[in-house]
Structure formats: structure tokens, C-alpha cells
Amino acid sequence: MITQRPILPNQNFTYRFDLTGQEGTLWWHAHEPFLRATVHGAVIIRPRGWPDSYPFPKPDKEVPIIIGVAEDGYVLDVEPGKTYLCA
């Protein structure tokens, strides 16, 4: 688990992690309760040498499909364009 201070507006942070020996489709998500219903995505790790080393026919197209439920998310009453301090 990664724990850090929030990333401020107009700032960035690069996560570095080791995926040695991993391949396949995984998913990531935030552990921050305020963001749990909105921040998630797919991580696709292909084998080294892809697609030549892949033992199956190369697909014509790949479309990751991510289904999320936002019913437990928080609703904020905000004005578009404004910045709000939430932390």
C-alpha cells in the first residue's frame, strides 16, 4: 500500500514499482475514502517481447472495460471552475 500526502493542484508524483515476473490484467484503485468511487483503472502487463513472444494469435483490437459503482461516493455541491480545499 502506498501512503503519502495529497498531490496539490498543478503538481505531480510518479509512482515507481517493480513488476518483475508479473503479466496479465490487473486493476488499481484509491484507498482514500473520499475518492473510492471515482479513482480506479486497468493495468495491462504484457510479456517481454510482446506480441512476438505471445503464444496466441495477436488480437485485432484491445478494449479494456472497467465497470465501477458510484453509489457509495460522496456528492459535493460545487461551482464549476472553482477550487475547493478538501483536505
Q: Please count the other Cβ atoms lying within 10 Å of the Cβ belonging to residue 77.
A: 4
Measured CA to CA, the distance from residue 14 to residue 5 in angstroms comes to 13
Number of domains in the chain: 1
CA neighbours closer than 13 Å in the CB half-sphere of residue 42? 12
Local confidence pLDDT in tens for the 87 residues of the chain = 556 777 888 998 888 888 888 888 888 877 766 555 567 788 888 887 777 777 778 788 888 888 776 665 566 667 777 776 665
pTM beyond 0.85: no
Q: Write out the DSSP string of the chain.
A: ----PPPPTT---------TT--EEEEEE---GGGTTT-EEEEEEPPTTTTTT-SSPPPS----------TTS------TT------
Structural domain that includes position 40: 1-87
